[in-house]
Copies of this chain bind each other. A is one copy, B any other.
């Protein structure tokens, strides 16, 4: 078990979830150094550094954020007052150091390889994806509760997509008393939706049912709600899209038609940063164990 050996971590960039992760690591007894997290007030046991090179010197593991980058080539660091070039950061990491991040793009991977950094994407781990989906589901429900002047109980909800998030979301909405419809394409999904007690919809039957829904949740990474569909949505309904950009609807048409929408991105870090940090920590522990750190 990792817990038995105390390590030195450099935690770099990221949002409040990354800050919480630093605190969790410290609470387990590890030495934790932080960089590019200047706007967060850490407990004294965590040491902020102003130079990446010093933060990374002699550490056992560097933890970078999820996602690693926002714009091209720049570190995702909303809690930092400055911009940080990923290339510079990688120069600060000592060759061979295990470096973890979530959602790493191709160019970052090449860059890391060129500098001989062992860069590992923890977002590719299925156990993280499952736990993350559960947080996303709860976040989507929170948004629906906040935005709507009606209760989820007794409301008519449509979930688009029957993947990991779609399945869980439909189940939780029903548990809260909603009447639930789920849209999918594959016959096997439609059978599963029916067996699970929701009403199945296909692309063909979606349009004629759309008007009755008060809350519509898109979880599918495909454009399902085009102009034709958006036109059928009730003016008091809310569309919450949890699919990553560009999401599942024609945003321009939605605005033009006055459809109420909410693109809910990166929910885990926003609605439950501590739970998010905990599941990242768990995954990091698994990886370090496997890598023999």
Q: Does A20 contact B (CB under 8 A)?
A: yes
* Residue from the list B129, B146, B188, B195 in contact with A142, Cβ < 8 A: B146
Give chain B residues whose Cβ lies under 8 Å from the Cβ of A194. 154
Q: How far is the CB of A20 from chain B (nearest CB, A)?
A: 7
Interface residues on A, range: 35 or more
A171-202 residues with Cβ-Cβ distance < 8 A to B are: 172, 175-177, 187-188, 190-192, 194-197
- Cβ of A146 and Cβ of B146 under 8 Å apart? yes
**Which of A127, A128, A151 counts the most chain B CB atoms within 10 A?**
A151
Q: How far is the CB of A181 from chain B (nearest CB, A)?
A: 15
Choose, from A80-88, A110-118, A247-255, A271-279, the stretch at the interface. Answer: A271-279
Q: Does A97 contact B (CB under 8 A)?
A: no
Give chain B residues whose Cβ lies under 8 Å from the Cβ of A190. 127
CA distance A16 to B20 in the complex (A): 38
- Name the CB-closest residue of B to A282: B191
CA distance A187 to B289 in the complex (A): 13
Q: Does A135 contact B (CB under 8 A)?
A: yes
A159-178 residues with Cβ-Cβ distance < 8 A to B are: 172, 175-177
Q: A126-B188, A138-B176, A175-B175 are in contact. List 9 more A-B contacts (CB 8 A).
A: A125-B187, A134-B177, A134-B195, A138-B151, A145-B145, A146-B146, A149-B274, A154-B194, A177-B195
Task: Sample 28 A-B pairs with CB under 8 A, ordered by A number.
Answer: A125-B188, A126-B191, A130-B191, A130-B192, A130-B195, A134-B151, A134-B177, A135-B151, A135-B153, A138-B145, A138-B152, A138-B153, A141-B145, A146-B146, A148-B272, A149-B272, A149-B273, A149-B274, A149-B275, A150-B274, A150-B275, A151-B271, A151-B272, A153-B197, A175-B176, A176-B176, A177-B197, A187-B286
